[in-house]
Amino acid sequence: MKFLYQNYTGAFLLWCNSFVSGKLFLMKTAFQKQPGSVKIVLLMLLVLVTGCSTFLPEKSPATLTPSPIPITPSHQPQPTATITPEIPIEYRVEINDLRGSEILFLHPFVGAIDEQYQAWAEEFNQKNPYGITIKVESTGGLDTLPSMIQSRNPQVILTTPELLSQGLEEGWLAALDGYLTLPELGLSEAEQKNIHEEFWLQDRFSGAQSGFPALRTAIGLIYNTTWANELGYTHPPSTPQEFLEQACAAARENNRSAYLDKRGTGGWLLSTDSLHAIAWWYAFGAKVLPEKPGEKIQFEQNSVATTFQFLRDMQSQGCLWQGLNPSPYRYFSERYTLFYIGSLQDIPPQQAYHQSLARKDDWTLIPFPRQNQEPFFLSHGFSYGLLRTKPKLQMAGWLWIRWLADPSRQSTLTRLYQGMPLGNSSQNVFFDPILEKHFMHDASLIPLPGNPDWLIARRPVEDAFWQIFHLAEGQSVEEVMVELQSLTEYELSRTQATPIP
């Protein structure tokens, strides 16, 4: 009985093998060599022939298909039979599928930076091995960028971290985490560390990487060191109280000037820009922008009220003033102000104006004074973002971003922007001796969190800061603070999260 079963089984498998492989002569030979009873059984099993393929694997077609973009390193061991997570669809792209992809890149700059991006796009289009074509368009400014995202439907943008965070929150922006860690097309750990961690975190929202740092600036105080020395001060102010003292000393000197138009000037040149307001709040220990998603902006803090009252007291003592000309360069070079809030981008034009008047005063960009802590620069800037679209277009867009991130190109862009280096490598150094001379780059840096609510809150903040210096009779700074909180919450509540594209 055991022998007969073995004969049935062997014959059946041989039959299946013969049928599937097409070698019919083997099937015939095997059939003829079996006993009569076995032949009957084999004939009855003929109806099961179509089931043979479930026992034997199918052969793959002989045609070749393009190799997909590698997702895991080639040296890794083969996967085991355990269940593994499915590869996200964004990364399931074959190299040949990228050929013919057209990528639109929007950025807000004009002039030299736009010209450089145009030149880089031409170079990339000629040399990239994937057959990707890049088209570059300038929006002419940040304010027009959101509307052009809607009308032009780009794949890559250059904008502020808060707009990128908004895109991630609303679902029209792709997170970059997976692209950054692609073995051959991402960034190595060393390459990622070449950019300061603070800048990476500035582009991080809800646990995901919303952007790739491209440009950063430092915001502080443009400070006339020569004039300060003449007033008796041998070092820049490091606390708000020292700032007030030096501002008042400069104001008193100008009030004694023989030139009437200088009287009432000399102290801090007032500005109510929202970023400048944030810097003043940091100076007094207030962090109004939450660093974690889900937390709301909080203006109702004792340190916010203290900041408002400090600035209001400066005004009442005549130690700050507001100019008619929005440009501060003449006021500074002609000693109408001891200091004003400026950034790295203000250094070259300020130097040019200084030289045009043949001024000999030394000056520099100093950090903000801070209560009970070391002075700081506030950092803000621009980052690359990848919009959600077809997987192959996302991959093509990422390859453009990755190409732009080459240290040599990044250094060129930083130099054109007159910005600060993103990291500490040999490529990330100041090439402009004017910046090197007029920037105290060894001070601490506070990156402005890329919070999407800031896009709405910044306008009420500017209104509140203007109001501080124009209080109605009987109005207090605390009332302004409460109104600011209420207005911001109202504006945020009525803003619907609608995807831009």
The pLDDT assigned to 158 comes to 98
Q: Does pLDDT of 299 surpass 90?
A: yes
**Is residue 25 situated within a structural domain?**
no
**Is residue 205 situated within a structural domain?**
yes
More confident residue, 320 or 9: 320
Domain that holds residue 203: 95-217+381-434
The pLDDT assigned to 93 comes to 86
Using the 3D structure, point to which of 389, 405, 434 is the last residue of a domain.
Answer: 434
Residue 131: partners with Cβ closer than 8 Å, 6 or more residues away: 98, 99, 100, 101
The pLDDT assigned to 338 comes to 98
The pLDDT assigned to 423 comes to 86
The pLDDT assigned to 294 comes to 77
Same domain, 258 and 340: yes
**Is residue 184 situated within a structural domain?**
yes
Q: What is the mean pLDDT of residues 373-399?
A: 96
The pLDDT assigned to 15 comes to 38
Same domain, 482 and 337: yes
Output the average pLDDT for the chain. Answer: 83
What are the C-alpha distances in Å from 254 to residues 257, 260, 353, 374? Answer: 5, 9, 21, 30
The pLDDT assigned to 440 comes to 73
Query: What band does 439 get if pLDDT is binned at 50, 70 and 90?
Result: confident
Inter-helix orientation angle 454-468/302-316, to 10°: 40
What are the C-alpha distances in Å from 306 to residues 26, 69, 312? Answer: 96, 56, 10
Q: What is the mean pLDDT of residues 301-324?
A: 97
Q: What is the mean pLDDT of residues 72-83?
A: 34
Query: What band does 495 get if pLDDT is binned at 50, 70 and 90?
Result: confident
More confident residue, 388 or 441: 388
Q: Does pLDDT of 254 surpass 70?
A: yes
Q: What is the mean pLDDT of residues 99-127?
A: 98
Same domain, 331 and 224: yes
CB-hemisphere CA count at 13 Å for 26? 13
Query: What band does 176 get if pLDDT is binned at 50, 70 and 90?
Result: very high
More confident residue, 25 or 149: 149
Q: How many residues does the chain have?
A: 501
- Collapsing DSSP to helix, strand or coil, 388 comes out as coil
Same domain, 284 and 371: yes
**Which residues is 381 bridged to in the sheet?**
216
Q: What is the mean pLDDT of residues 250-255?
A: 98
Q: What is the mean pLDDT of residues 34-56?
A: 42
Same domain, 307 and 327: yes
The pLDDT assigned to 435 comes to 76
Which residue in this structure is represented by tokens 């803003």?
A: 495
Q: Does pLDDT of 99 surpass 70?
A: yes
More confident residue, 441 or 171: 171
The pLDDT assigned to 270 comes to 97
Q: Does pLDDT of 308 surpass 80?
A: yes
**Is residue 81 situated within a structural domain?**
no
Cα–chain center distance at 261: 45
The enclosing H or E element of 343 equals: strand 337-343
Cα separation, 254 vs 248, whole angstroms? 10
Q: Does pLDDT of 205 surpass 70?
A: yes
The pLDDT assigned to 438 comes to 83
The pLDDT assigned to 437 comes to 77
Give the tens place of pLDDT for each residue, 122-151.
999 999 999 999 999 999 999 999 999 999
Instruction: Name the percent of the chain lying above pLDDT 90.
Output: 72
Give the tens place of pLDDT for each residue, 329-354.
999 999 999 999 999 999 999 999 99
Same domain, 103 and 200: yes
Same domain, 213 and 173: yes
Query: What band does 90 get if pLDDT is binned at 50, 70 and 90?
Result: low
Same domain, 253 and 335: yes
Same domain, 160 and 297: no
Q: What is the mean pLDDT of residues 210-220?
A: 97
**Is residue 500 situated within a structural domain?**
no
**Is residue 5 situated within a structural domain?**
no
Query: What band does 95 get if pLDDT is binned at 50, 70 and 90?
Result: confident
The pLDDT assigned to 431 comes to 57
CB-hemisphere CA count at 13 Å for 358? 0
Same domain, 375 and 415: no
Residue 153: partners with Cβ closer than 8 Å, 6 or more residues away: 104, 501
- Other beta carbons less than 10 A from residue 415's beta carbon: 17
Q: Does pLDDT of 21 surpass 80?
A: no
Q: What is the mean pLDDT of residues 297-311?
A: 97
Structurally, the chain folds into a number of domains equal to: 2
**Is residue 4 situated within a structural domain?**
no
Same domain, 118 and 208: yes
**Is residue 357 situated within a structural domain?**
yes
Q: What is the mean pLDDT of residues 183-203?
A: 92
Task: Assign residue 359 the CATH number of its domain.
Answer: 3.40.190.10
Q: What is the mean pLDDT of residues 59-88?
A: 35
Same domain, 253 and 303: yes
Cα separation, 330 vs 350, whole angstroms? 8
Give the tens place of pLDDT for each residue, 226-243.
999 999 999 999 999 999
Q: Does pLDDT of 84 surpass 50?
A: no
